[in-house]
């Protein structure tokens, strides 16, 4: 066995992340205000930014994210079909859905309440000068009725091709139920899906071992191109959002987990390291879903029949991190434009953001669309979004890690309540050493 295999996946990802951040900041320092720097190599000159940042790092990072996204639809569909067809009680689906959605909406409401409270305490927008060029074109969000209609696919294959996860989830549930009701024919098809699930999980294993390289490329490009001056200019807003995210992830989730299940929050958070680092690197709950499912089942002990339902649903509608950004951003923009919001306005923000987390599920740019809805609801200028967009990239990465943590917390709570949870796996410290490892 090589030394590389002895080193845990968490350690390798962390090394890749740190190395990427360091190299990115070094490149940014060397480039300064220049468009590019040429490195003479005798026969030709090598462009520092063109070859490395826009070349190797960009290609490596995008291939890594594309590889993860490639797994999402087959993994969710196959895993959800396997979980659904194995349910002995069809009513269980209704319970799973009710509990999951109720918990996701509750945590979202708690998240935005914490964010608004902290922002009112810190007052990040007081004294900030409004840029005259601030402008933002808000896209129209679909109505809740339209979202419910769009959940049911007219063409399941097209839904898979477009990555419409709500439609994929609905079709997988219906397909799994049909298999469970089809007797021997359904059992024969179920065996095929079980084998497919094993193969897809092996593919996840292979790709996860390439993760340190992908994370390195993503971090190196990001920290070469990120504008640190913008972060310094919006430092009060930036760190208020970060503080709210950490409070929600470390305190709120821990309290809910302990109260509802009696499980150890320390063990839970320790086992979330790999999934959180993937989420931070990719800035996408959907792209991180293969790792989230592996974490929920292999490390935390939730049975696949529950995790295969709650994790894809959470990746689609769980917007706790985004809700926190909206809460702080609403207070920040109100203070910047000197608009006094009442208690009823803040209650409307909480209600709107909570319901919008379902109403805008699966829409590209969902965070900004939801924020535009919230601002319109309380009469704040949507142009204020342009002020915070410059620092949103790093915050988006952090709130994705919070969302993934919430997905797994809700999965543990629902699985425990359904007696579909292996406490021995949860308490097994050896399961934290490595998420996946090639045989």
Query: Whole-model pTM?
Result: 0.84
**Crossing angle of helices 343-359/366-377, nearest 10°?**
150
Average pLDDT, the chain: 84
Per-residue pLDDT, 1: 38
**What's CA 282's distance to the chain center, in Å?**
8
421 DSSP assignment: B
Distances from the Cα of 71 to the Cα of 78, 151, 208, 286, angstroms = 11, 21, 11, 10
* Phi, psi at 62, each rounded to 5°: -70, -35
Of 261, 274, 290, nearest in space to 419 by CA: 261
Confidence of residue 250 (pLDDT cuts 50, 70, 90): very high
Indicate whether 143 pLDDT > 70.
no
Q: What percentage of the chain has pLDDT greater than the value 90?
A: 34
As a whole number of angstroms, the distance between CA 217 and CA 227 comes to 18
As a 3-state breakdown, the chain gives helix, strand, coil percent values, each rounded to 5, of 75, 0, 20
pLDDT tens, residue by residue, 385-439 = 878 877 887 888 899 999 999 999 999 999 999 999 999 999 987 765 545 443 3
Per-residue pLDDT, 148: 76
Distances from the Cα of 116 to the Cα of 31, 223, 240, 329, 335, angstroms = 39, 29, 10, 9, 12
Indicate whether 5 pLDDT > 70.
no
As a whole number of angstroms, the distance between CA 90 and CA 27 comes to 57
pLDDT tens, residue by residue, 325-357 = 989 999 999 998 888 888 888 898 888 888 777
Of 380, 308, 403, nearest in space to 108 by CA: 403
Structure tokens at 235: 């430092």
As a whole number of angstroms, the distance between CA 110 and CA 98 comes to 18
pLDDT tens, residue by residue, 89-122 = 667 778 888 899 899 999 999 999 999 999 999 9
What integer is the mean pLDDT of 191-204? 89
Which run of H or E residues covers position 162? Answer: helix 156-162
Query: From the CB of residue 318, how many other CB atoms can be counted at a distance below 10 Å?
Result: 32
Tokens 């109260």 locate to 259
What integer is the mean pLDDT of 20-43? 83
Q: Which CATH number fits domain 3-432: 1.10.3860.10, 2.60.120.330, 3.30.2320.50, 2.60.120.560?
A: 1.10.3860.10
Q: What percentage of the chain has pLDDT greater than the value 70?
A: 89
As a whole number of angstroms, the distance between CA 70 and CA 207 comes to 11
As a whole number of angstroms, the distance between CA 303 and CA 81 comes to 14
Of 103, 139, 160, 328, nearest in space to 236 by CA: 328
Query: From the CB of residue 242, how many other CB atoms can be counted at a distance below 10 Å?
Result: 16
Per-residue pLDDT, 4: 45
Give domain limits for the chain: 3-432
pLDDT tens, residue by residue, 282-299 = 888 888 888 999 999 999
Q: Which of 198-207, 241-250, 310-319 has the highest mean pLDDT?
A: 241-250
Per-residue pLDDT, 139: 57
């Amino acid at each position: 066995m090589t030394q590389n295999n002895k080193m845990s996946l968490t350690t390798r990802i962390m090394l890749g992340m740190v190395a990427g951040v360091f190299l990115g900041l070094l490149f940014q320092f060397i480039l300064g205000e220049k468009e590019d720097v040429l490195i003479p190599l005798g026969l030709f000159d090598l462009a520092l930014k063109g070859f490395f940042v826009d070349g190797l790092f960009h290609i490596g990072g995008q291939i890594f994210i594309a590889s993860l996204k490639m797994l999402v639809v087959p993994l969710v569909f196959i895993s959800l079909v396997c979980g659904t067809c194995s349910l002995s009680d069809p009513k269980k689906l209704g319970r799973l859905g009710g509990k999951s959605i109720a918990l996701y909406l509750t945590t979202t409401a708690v998240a935005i309440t914490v964010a608004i409270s902290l922002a009112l305490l810190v007052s990040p927008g007081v004294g900030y000068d409004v840029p005259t060029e601030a402008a933002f074109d808000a896209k129209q969000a679909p109505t809740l009725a339209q979202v419910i209609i769009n959940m049911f696919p007219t063409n399941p294959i097209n839904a898979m091709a477009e990555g419409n996860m709500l439609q994929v989830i609905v079709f997988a549930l219906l397909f799994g139920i049909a298999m469970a009701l089809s007797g021997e024919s359904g059992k024969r098809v179920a065996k095929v899906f079980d084998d497919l699930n094993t193969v897809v999980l092996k593919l996840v294993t292979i790709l996860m071992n390439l993760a340190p390289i992908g994370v390195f490329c993503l971090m190196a490009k990001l920290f070469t191109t990120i504008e640190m001056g913008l972060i310094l200019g919006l430092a009060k807003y930036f760190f208020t959002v970060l503080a709210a995210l950490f409070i929600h992830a470390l305190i709120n989730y821990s309290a809910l987990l302990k109260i509802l299940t009696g499980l150890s929050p320390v063990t839970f958070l320790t086992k979330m390291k790999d999934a959180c680092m993937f989420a931070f690197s990719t800035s996408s709950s959907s792209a991180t879903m293969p790792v989230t499912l592996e974490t929920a089942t292999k490390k935390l002990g939730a049975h696949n029949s529950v995790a295969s339902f709650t994790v894809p649903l959470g990746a689609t509608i769980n917007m706790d991190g985004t809700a926190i950004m909206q809460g702080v951003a609403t207070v920040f923009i109100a203070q910047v434009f000197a608009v006094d919001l009442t208690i009823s306005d803040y209650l409307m923000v909480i209600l709107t953001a909570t319901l919008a987390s379902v109403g805008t599920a699966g829409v590209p740019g969902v965070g900004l669309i939801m924020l535009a809805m919230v601002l319109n609801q309380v009469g704040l200028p949507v142009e204020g979004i342009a002020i915070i967009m410059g620092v949103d990239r790093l915050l988006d990465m952090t709130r994705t890690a919070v969302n993934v943590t919430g997905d797994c917390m809700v999965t543990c709570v629902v699985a425990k309540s359904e007696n579909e949870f292996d406490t021995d796996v949860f308490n097994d410290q050896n399961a934290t050493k490595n998420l996946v490892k090639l045989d």
